[in-house]
Structure 1
Amino acid sequence: MTTLTHAMVLAAGLGLRMRPLTLEMPKPLISVAGKPLLDHALDRVAAAGIGTAVVNTHYKGEMIAAHLKDRTAPHVVLSPEADLLETGGGIKHALPLLGTDPFLSVNADILWMDGPTTAIERLLLAWNPKAMDALLLLHPAVSAYGYDGKGDFHMDPIGKVTRRRSGEIAPFVFAGVQILKPELFADTPDGAFSTNLIWDRLLESERLYGMRHDGLWFHVGTPASIGQVEEHLEVRPHHAES
């Protein structure tokens, strides 16, 4: 199984749909199911044995810095952004802190519950750098709690993914967790851009792969959704460990 030494935790977003809660704090610090969303993500990283997490910050970044100052596992390195750089630009900005090997990227505003084997361990088991340059955790759209979109990707039996075409419904949604090679960012714009740019390039070269998540996944998008997620977890206590 591949081992990773670094993770990128994306925590710089504005959280506009979470207003008014995000008028007072950044979305990653909003508590869901007993602890801040950011801590859910970092606890997953630590449990996977990944020693260093780079956390990017922008909106109310000083609150995130204060929250993390005493955390030791994983070791946290902050990557402040003067301007919001989006997902791809934020990772590119942090590359000097992430090293030269493949790394894990986790969105800090999602919540998932693992199946029998943790999602990160399953990604590491599935990672094949000879065939793939990025591996995405995907969740079935029909069982993505709180998600009402049309899906993101189709996936074939070996995990190769293709995008949903306009007017289609696709069976899988990106679950906010992925393994990426740092060299993917070599020929990308300066400033803000989405990782969709990198995914589109990999789709052309057929080196973008996915893996189906086998646990629960929650889209925590609005203040009202927090109570709904917590209520859902309380009726499934055996899934509520994190």
Structure 2
Amino acid sequence: MSGETINIKGADGSFSGYLARPEGAGKAPGIVVIQEIFGVNKVMRDLCDWLAGEGYVALCPDLFWRIEPGIDITDQTEAEWKKAFDLFGKFDVDKGVGDIAATIKTLRPMTSGKVGAVGYCLGGQLAYLTACHTDADASVGYYGVNIQNRLADAKGIKAPLMLHIAGKDEFVPKEAQEEVVKGLHDNPLVTIHRYPDMDHAFARPGGAHYDKANADEANDRTLKLFARHLG
């Protein structure tokens, strides 16, 4: 397993991505890893490496490239949080979805043909929109923000989507959670798992709200979905 930085050609420019491949010969399925508001940082690179260890070609694109390429910050200082929220405020979600579509197009020839997507926080919303607007073969979103504002997009879902919702998410109020559950309840392609006592980013190792038991459960569910639909 090895990681490298590659170039991804988008509709209106090129940007970088962190690519991790599984060991051994032969082609494997692919997964686009969609960043949080901290850029393509160690947490995201570690996720790519983890997925490569599980047998996937994992690629995490730099979605903040239009604002500032190469963002790599943590959740450990107030200054970094301020920077992250500033980036989040300037970020164009729909252009980000276009960049994810370009990333899928770049990744697919490196794989056995099937490509999924998994995203966290901002990336959780983007994973949902990836299911709505791209040809990803399966998508998973962890504690996605603002999904309740984009429920009309759900009509575009054509492949399996799994959402992990934190019951005590400080960035997703209860009312918003219920809107998402109600809005997607009748869609047979959507599976929602709820973690009643968890706060935002419960699956981010090293984060203030990390909970290993719930993170392991969510990750197991994610891997099983990918095994079913990307294998």
TM-score (norm: length of structure 1): 0.38
Structure with max Cα Rg: 1
TM-score (norm: length of structure 2): 0.39
Q: Which has the higher helix share?
A: 2
Q: Which structure carries more relative contact order (alpha carbon 8 Å, separation 6+)?
A: 1
